[in-house]
Amino acid sequence: MAVRASSKDRRGMRARRLVGSVLATGWFVFLSLVVFFPIFAGAVASFRPGVELIRRGLSVNLDVSTMNLNNYNYLFSGNADSRKYWMWFRNSMYLTIVTVVLTLLICYFVAYGITMYEFRLKRVLFFLVIATMMVPFEILMLPLYREIISMRLINTTAGVILPGLCGASTIFFFHQYMSSLPRELLDAGRIDGANEYRICVGIMLPITKPAFSAMAILCAMGAWNNMLWPLLIYRSADRFTLTIGLNTLLTPYGNNYDMLIAGSMLAILPILAVFLLFQRYIIDGMTAGAVKG
């Protein structure tokens, strides 16, 4: 009887696992479709004239008779609008690369100092860093703007980059990751005669590559899609990023939907390519410091 009961329990457990797996799979498929629909609808609309977007809105109806490559030909035609678009594209690429590199380096050194060394008020300092994560950017926007004006950095790339270089979330991520690393590595480096800078850069930094990779993708996505702060700082059109430039195509005097929808689709490609190539580093970086051992 006990054997029969245990066999029945195992079958019931397998059935519950199967039902749970089916429900979870169905839920994630539904979420994937919800996320994929606007991208697919935008891709379809990019092959249609702008008047079709005004007339029908975003639609996944694949009417081949209205689809062509005119919008993309317009972007690569070399006319004035095309040159402006690629100028905005280059500005976004430059801003994103510089922001990611400087943010990762600065946040790594800050997190390394807080994690690997013991000093007075260490916990208070770390709490203050984390507390800034609870302050919405809209509250900090005005004092930061006045500070940028006083530093005479309006309409400069430095004015856009500097306020976000020392991100609390990036510092916290590096701190959590490095907290799982053995402190014996520091002692071994000191015994071998390495100075503190050599230990930080030559020993600890290579070990944190998964964290660097994960945060590089997240920082790149934030910098590439950022619009509000660059919109406040930049004054001249030749410094606009892609998000601001595409927004200028919508005006009360006329809307260039042909360029807007095709340009928006091309703007997705750099971040999409980075994510697809390095998505495994996001998982490794996020989970590597989850368990201390």
CA 32/CA 292 separation, integer angstroms: 33
Tens-digit pLDDT profile for residues 24-36: 899 989 998 888 8
At 143, the amino acid letter reads: P
pLDDT at 249: 83
Structure tokens at 268: 């997705």
- Using an 8 Å Cβ cutoff, are 239 and 161 in contact? no
Mean pLDDT across 65-86: 85
Q: Quick one: average pLDDT of 251-260?
A: 74
The CA-atom distances, in angstroms, between 292 and each of 3, 33, 51, 78, 169 are: 40, 37, 58, 55, 20
The residue-averaged pLDDT of 172-199 equals 84
pLDDT surpasses 60 at 287: no
Q: Is the pLDDT of residue 171 over 60?
A: yes
